[in-house]
Structure 1
Amino acid sequence: MEEVFFQSSIIDLLEQVTKLYSISDIATELQVNQSTIHRWLNGSVQPKSFIADRLVNMISRKIPAQENDEKNGDFTFIDLFAGIGGIRKGFEQAGGKCVFTSEWDEFAQKTYSNNYPSKCPINGDITKVNAEDIPDHDVLLAGFPCQPFSIAGVSKKKSLGRPTGFEDKTQGTLFFDVARIIEKKKPKVFVLENVKNLKSHDKGNTFKVIWETLTQDLKYTCSYRIIDGQSWVPQHRERIVIVGFRNKVDFSLEDMELPPKGEVKLASILHKTDGTEPRLPQDGDKYFDFENNKVLDKYTLTDNLWAYLQAYAQKHRSMGNGFGYGLVNENDIARTLSARYYKDGSEILISQGEGKNPRRLTPRECARLMGYPDDYVIPVSDTRAYKQFGNSVVVPLFHAVAEFIKPLLMEEIENENHNTERIYAEKRIAI
């Protein structure tokens, strides 16, 4: 009877370890074949008693990090394709602690490091980062670029890690780097962000491969939703958000309640010209003339540029096209801010009244339009700032996503800690 109980305890240990490590890593650690691990799990072969100590050691290596996390945050996360830290900002606001960052662009790194000073360096090219060197974490965040996927020649799904498995289908795309890190580190949750058109990209093949990789190969319980940032900021900005849980969790992003769209107007983010504009130490007078209570003249379009944009819009209207500038006032909602905004600002032009050319948004207004707080530092040139905010995310949208998944995440963390304590207790009793 004691032997049966002890064997059951080992299997419980093994099942716990499979949630923390890949089968390949477990097999390497225990110096057995992967097929042996599977036979232990299905009960066809019983593991030797000494295996229990090795499994406990594998679990214990995770515990110090967990204890440290409890002191510094409710949960830990890593920030991949971090940009200037918009998704990170939302998850920190929900009580998370970032333990690893990867971003390749040196100018984005400059903005990121100014706003998130840390002893941990920002890792560059994610394709050169070894997944084993990434700290353990509860949540993986990634706003990965959208690239085409080739699925030619893939006729049968294979298991993870084999030459013709998901690696073969996604090789050469940056999504593969997200997938390999998920496969290796097995975070409790991942949150991925991309443009709305990811769903239709490459005639739907891109999303098909992503979804199959996440749900079938990596076996995460997933949900996705296209969400408009207009619920939080005065900007029409639709993005697809994909969330996956490592365990079977009953959830749907469709159940996430969103604030009404369109209630927040541009007046909330524009510089105040009535003497109430806050003087930000990090901005100084880069964007605003405090003596005369007005936005600096350099943001007003020149006569030549304004004439060109009007002529361009008229030309396309005559052809039946909808191309043209987006002229708005403080009571409006803006179009989507893009990374090309630095070129002419045409998608969002602020009206300055009759007889005066419209103006661009200032970088500080762009930061506000994306939901960044005013203490966010903008250490780069206007051109770089426009690109960075145009490529960023709506911060309060991801704060809302973080708050939506947090109760489920904390339950997963509590269950894992409880299971670890139970396994230790059972092992002591069995011995």
Structure 2
Amino acid sequence: MTDLNFPAKESRLQWAEFFAGGGMARAGLGDNWKCVLANDFDHIKVKCYAENWGSDDLIPGDIRTVPSTIVPDSLDLAWASTPCQNFSSAGKGEGLLGAASSVFTAWWEIIQKKYVAGTHPKIIVLENVRGLLKSRNGQDFRTVAESFGSSGYHFGVVVVDAIHFLPQSRPRIFLVAIRDDIEIPASLVSDNTVQVWHPDDLVSAIQKLPEIIRQRHVWWRLPTPPAMALTLSDILEHDAAVWHTPEQTQKLLDAMSLINISKVKNVARSNSLVVGTLFRRMRPHEGRMRSFTEIRLDGVAGCLRASDGGSSRQMLIFIEGEAIRTRHMTARESARLMGLSDDYSLPTAKTHAAKVIGDGVAIPVVRFLADSLLTPLALVGNYSALKLS
């Protein structure tokens, strides 16, 4: 990659963080970017954000109450990790009509007002769950794409899974938009879809957009994902464990299907220690819904979720021959699965920590996007460029 000439510290790239949560996008972007405004309405997340990043530029409260006039003009980047509950598989499929996810409209009104004034951000990133692509038969994705396309932006979408960087399966879509008056470097544009970043469901969602909107779409080029070096065992807190009782562990095993219990038995035959994850899932059984325990034994955790996101907390299972122990994952272990350093201050209450962590964005993913795409776009003057018409 071409060497980047970063601005001096006093004139770093300026950005705003909407739906900021615990500030994980801020951690991922790093010191070359200066956050000049952060907003979230959840008091638990706001408190956590302030403890880790300070409150000088933090505007607590509902996005509907944030006037566009307090958002700095012509930002280098506006980042929005909008609520995902109504797009998530754990939700009810209400999409943009749902109470949580409908705040996209309120946030976009701020961007729209900046656009009308000619002071809209240079780059916008919208991060959300993959379910947005198919929500309400694609209508919600079309609404989002049309919002960007009609307000002075070209845009591209990539799906990046945290599993490339961390032992957690966490695919997320990132809609990255660039202002029309900015020339896009040819090195950042792909002439074909790369499967790992542009899977079939994304390609299909783009193809279903109206032609006038597809003309504003860009296939972003990202480098090959790195080899993930961590495993689930690497993030464990061995001294902080609170183990389930034997009765609790047996109850979890008894709630397994035959397929899942056979996985446990196969691993037990090796007589070596294997660590996996457990989930409680509601599944149809004999004409009704029943709670099952499901296991994962590939050294990767499932997607972390907030405590109020509709799913139970993730658990760990340790199998060593006939000896089987289980426990809940600690808050610090969950934080490590998001790439947070151990000096990041977490809420004391487990449910509060789960909310901050589960609603966050994986830090190495943000860093990867910043290095590969966002910073080059922000410093576009350093590149020979291709103008999109």
**Structure 2 length as normaliser, TM-score?**
0.69
Write the deviation string for residues 87-129 of structure 1: whole angstroms up to 9, x where unpaired.
Answer: 1211125x10000011111111111111101423432111101
Root-mean-square deviation (Å): 3.2
Return the offset for 1:317: 9.5
2:249 is matched with: 306
**Aligned pairs for 1:109-188 within 5 A:** 109-136=46-73, 137-146=75-84, 148-149=95-96, 173-185=102-114, 186-188=120-122
Instruction: Quickly say closer, same or farther: Cα 1:322–1:414, change in 2 above 3 A.
Output: farther
Instruction: Quickly say closer, same or farther: Cα 1:305–1:346, change in 2 above 3 A.
Output: farther
Which of 19, 28, 35 in structure 2 is aligned with 1:98? 35
Contact 1:350 1:361 in 2 (8 A): no
State the AA in 2 paired with 1:100: L
The one of the two structures with greater contact order (alpha-carbon pairs below 8 A, sep at least 6) is: 2
Partner SS, residue 371 of structure 1: coil
Which of 215, 222, 225 in structure 2 is aligned with 1:256? 222
Contact 1:326 1:346 in 2 (8 A): no
State the AA in 1 paired with 2:102: T
State the AA in 1 paired with 2:104: F
Structure 1 unaligned segments of length 5 or more: list them.
Answer: 1-68, 151-169, 274-293, 416-431
Contact 1:342 1:382 in 2 (8 A): no
Q: Please tell me whether residue 295 in structure 1 is matched to residue 240 in structure 2.
A: yes
Give the whole-Å Cα distance in 1 for the aligned partners of 2:67 and 2:329: 40
2:378 is matched with: 409
Q: Please tell me whether residue 360 in structure 1 is matched to residue 328 in structure 2.
A: yes
Instruction: Quickly say closer, same or farther: Cα 1:374–1:258, change in 2 above 3 A.
Output: farther
Return the offset for 1:359: 1.6
State the AA in 1 paired with 2:52: N
1:189 is matched with: 123
Give the whole-Å Cα distance in 2 for the aligned partners of 1:347 and 1:382: 12
Instruction: Quickly say closer, same or farther: Cα 1:400–1:317, change in 2 above 3 A.
Output: same
Write the deviation string for residues 36-61 of structure 1: whole angstroms up to 9, x where unpaired.
Answer: xxxxxxxxxxxxxxxxxxxxxxxxxx
Instruction: Quickly say closer, same or farther: Cα 1:222–1:323, change in 2 above 3 A.
Output: farther
Q: Which has the higher helix share?
A: 1
Return the offset for 1:384: 1.0
State the AA in 2 paired with 1:337: L
Contact 1:87 1:395 in 2 (8 A): yes
Return the offset for 1:227: 1.0
1:235 is matched with: 168
Return the offset for 1:204: 0.7
Partner SS, residue 122 of structure 1: strand
Q: Which has the higher strand share?
A: 2
Instruction: Quickly say closer, same or farther: Cα 1:249–1:174, change in 2 above 3 A.
Output: farther
Return the offset for 1:327: 4.1
Contact 1:234 1:332 in 2 (8 A): yes
Return the offset for 1:141: 0.5
State the AA in 1 paired with 2:300: I
Q: Please tell me whether residue 77 in structure 1 is matched to residue 46 in structure 2.
A: no
Q: Please tell me whether residue 209 in structure 1 is matched to residue 209 in structure 2.
A: no
Count of residues in correspondence between the two structures:
301
Structure 2 unaligned segments of length 5 or more: list them.
Answer: 1-6, 87-94, 115-119, 190-218, 259-282, 385-389
Give the whole-Å Cα distance in 2 for the aligned partners of 1:344 and 1:176: 26
User: Which has the larger displacement, 370-379 or 352-361?
Assistant: 352-361
Which of 336, 343, 348 in structure 2 is aligned with 1:375? 343
1:265 is matched with: 231
Return the offset for 1:268: 2.4
Give the whole-Å Cα distance in 1 for the aligned partners of 2:81 and 2:296: 29
Instruction: Quickly say closer, same or farther: Cα 1:342–1:175, change in 2 above 3 A.
Output: closer
- Computing the radius of gyration over CA atoms, which structure comes out larger, 1 or 2? 1
Give the whole-Å Cα distance in 1 for the aligned partners of 2:304 and 2:257: 22
Instruction: Quickly say closer, same or farther: Cα 1:383–1:133, change in 2 above 3 A.
Output: same
Give the whole-Å Cα distance in 1 for the aligned partners of 2:125 and 2:39: 15
**Structure 1 length as normaliser, TM-score?**
0.63
Give the whole-Å Cα distance in 2 for the aligned partners of 1:75 and 1:262: 29
Partner SS, residue 254 of structure 2: helix
Identity %: 29
Contact 2:317 2:324 in 1 (8 A): no
Partner SS, residue 202 of structure 1: helix
Give the whole-Å Cα distance in 1 for the aligned partners of 2:313 and 2:96: 33
Contact 1:326 1:348 in 2 (8 A): no
User: Which has the larger displacement, 385-394 or 175-184?
Assistant: 175-184
Give the whole-Å Cα distance in 2 for the aligned partners of 1:227 and 1:81: 20
Partner SS, residue 358 of structure 1: strand
